Amino acid sequence: METRIQSKAFQKFAETAATITTPETDVWKESGGKIIGYFCAAMPVELITAAGFLPFRLRGTGSTNTDLADIHFSSLNCTFPRHAFNLALEGKFDFIDGVVFFNSCDHIRRVYDHWIRRMDTPFVKILSLPKKAEHPQVEWFTEELAILRDQMQEHFGVEITDAKLREAIKLHNESRKLLRELYDLRRADNPPITGSESLAVTVASTAMPPELYNSLLRELLSDLKQADGISDHKARLMVLGGECDNPDYIKVIEDQGGLVVADSLCFGSRLLWKDVDETIDDPLAALAQYSVADRPSCARMFTEYQNRAKYVKEMITDFNVDGAIFERLTFCEIWGFEQLNLTNDFKDWKVPLICMDREYILSGVGQLKTRVQAFLETMGG
- Taking only the tens place, the pLDDT of each residue in 123-156 is 999 999 999 999 999 999 999 999 999 999 999 9
Q: DSSP class of residue 193?
A: S
* pLDDT tens, position by position, 301-312: 989 999 999 999
User: What pLDDT is attached to residue 4?
Assistant: 82
List C-alpha distances in Å: 219 to 12, 100, 186, 216, 225: 11, 32, 17, 5, 10
Which of these, 131, 128, 132, 83, lies nearest to 109 by C-alpha position? 128
Query: Of 226, 218, 222, which Cα lies nearest the Cα of 175?
Result: 218
List, for residues 35-64, the tens digit of each pLDDT value.
Answer: 999 999 999 999 999 999 999 999 999 999
- Residues of the chain above pLDDT 90, percent: 90
Output the CA–CA distances (angstroms, integers) from residue 257 to 194, 240, 324, in the order listed.
11, 18, 14
For residues 285 and 262, the answer to whether their CB atoms sit within 8 Å is no
Domains in the chain, CATH or no CATH each: 23-160 (3.40.50.11890)
Segment 153-176 shows an average pLDDT of 98
| Stretch 107-126: mean pLDDT | 96
Whole-prediction pTM value?
Answer: 0.96
The per-residue pLDDT for 381 is 54
153 neighbors 160 (Cβ within 8 angstroms): yes
275/180 Cα distance (integer angstroms): 10
C-alpha dist (Å) from residue 114 to 20, 248, 345:
21, 30, 39
Alpha carbons 161 and 301: distance in angstroms, whole number = 30
Render pLDDT for 205-224 as a digit per residue (tens, 0 to 9): 999 999 999 999 999 999 99
Cβ atoms 217, 178 nearer than 8 A: yes
- 84-106, pLDDT tens digit by residue? 999 999 999 999 999 999 998 88
Q: Name which residue leads in pLDDT, 271 or 333.
A: 271
The CA-to-CA distance between both ends of the chain, in Å, stands at: 26
At residue 357, the pLDDT reads 94
- C-beta of residue 163 within 8 angstroms of C-beta of residue 281: no
Contact by Cβ (8 Å): 63, 83: yes
pLDDT computed for residue 5 by the predictor: 83
Residue 174: pLDDT band with limits 50, 70, 90: very high
